[in-house]
Amino acid sequence: MKKSLVVHILVMVIAAAAGSFIASTLLMDQNKLSSARIKVGQKSACGFNKFIADVQWMLFINYCGSVGSIKKDNVNEVYTRLASIIRNDPDFEKAYEVGTLMISIEASEKALELLKIGCDNPRLSANWKIPFLAGFTLSRNVNAKDLPAVTKKLKTDAEGFFEMAAKRSPSTPERYVISYLMRAKAAKLGKTWKAKGSKDAIQIVNDKHALLCAWINEANSGYRGGRVEDDMASYSIVQSSTKDMTRKVLSLASFLKEEHPDDPNIAKTLNELKTSILKGQNFCGKCLTVYAAGDKYCSSCGEKVVVYGACDKCGVVKKGAYCSECGDPKTEKKQ
């Protein structure tokens, strides 16, 4: 009986030692796969960190459901639980995408702290939602007076996060990602704007004016195409993702022209627009809408426009060097 007990004890000791060895091996393999875990510095839980994170997530969901809403009196508890989950499993995407969103209003800086961990995690380099949430939280929920200190701590700003989200998008970035990226660029312009190659500074009238100036900057950024590189200008992302960029910009320009018909700053900006995005295109002089070959009137405002691309003799739109209707070689010149 005593011999059998000793054998059982020896088996238990050997099993515990073997389990410890296997756990240590698993932990090293996990650290190789997720270098972010080493940076976060969570102590080993015998290789079961991911399992513990899953359990903590279920408890987190139950807790949040029991409190009803996230308020000042419980946000620290929510943050503590969320941070523990991420320490155990820095690759837990739902914790960033859902959890940080829950505390982004009451504890925006703490939410950004966790989102930055997700952005810096090489295992999550294909996730565009995490940097987008970081940019959104930074631009919407952080007070203007605290913004410089927060961006300094994060070592980037809202534009940087939105640009990261656009670059990480698997194919074409969502429209709202490009929209927020351009608004972040516009917000950084300040009170004045100077177009590329221009000597005169233009006073920015309002947010829409700033946004138009930002779009013109993109058109003048000198993007030449080619292979995608990590340090490429964001214009390539915006241009390739926004097929209807011209339409959006013209709609914005038309609105500003109508709302501020006598403002010299708006007028100067529209002139810059004509030499950048509208360069080489035929557009209505009244509403700036681009029109097609053969059009006699603007389809947007009804204004009479200078006809181009049509046969002088019969008025049919030409498809080649000669008119397909009457054979005449002459064509109206572009305006």
- The predicted structure's pLDDT at residue 130: 97
pLDDT higher than threshold 60 for residue 335? no
pLDDT higher than threshold 50 for residue 290? yes
Write out pLDDT tens, residues 162-204: 999 998 988 778 888 988 999 999 999 989 998 887 788 999 9
Identify the residue with better confidence: 238 or 175: 175
With tokens 């340090």, the residue in question is 231
- The predicted structure's pLDDT at residue 219: 77
- The predicted structure's pLDDT at residue 229: 35
- The predicted structure's pLDDT at residue 327: 67
- The predicted structure's pLDDT at residue 304: 87
Name the least confident of 56-65, 155-164, 280-289. 280-289
- The predicted structure's pLDDT at residue 320: 63
Write out pLDDT tens, residues 65-75: 888 888 999 99
Name the least confident of 77-91, 95-109, 316-330. 316-330
Name the least confident of 146-155, 210-219, 233-242, 316-325. 233-242
Identify the residue with better confidence: 7 or 157: 157
Write out pLDDT tens, residues 25-45: 655 565 555 544 444 445 555
pLDDT higher than threshold 80 for residue 208? yes
Name the least confident of 52-56, 81-85, 87-91, 309-313. 309-313
Write out pLDDT tens, residues 117-128: 999 999 999 999
Look up the pTM and report it: 0.73
- Say what percent of the chain tops pLDDT 90: 42
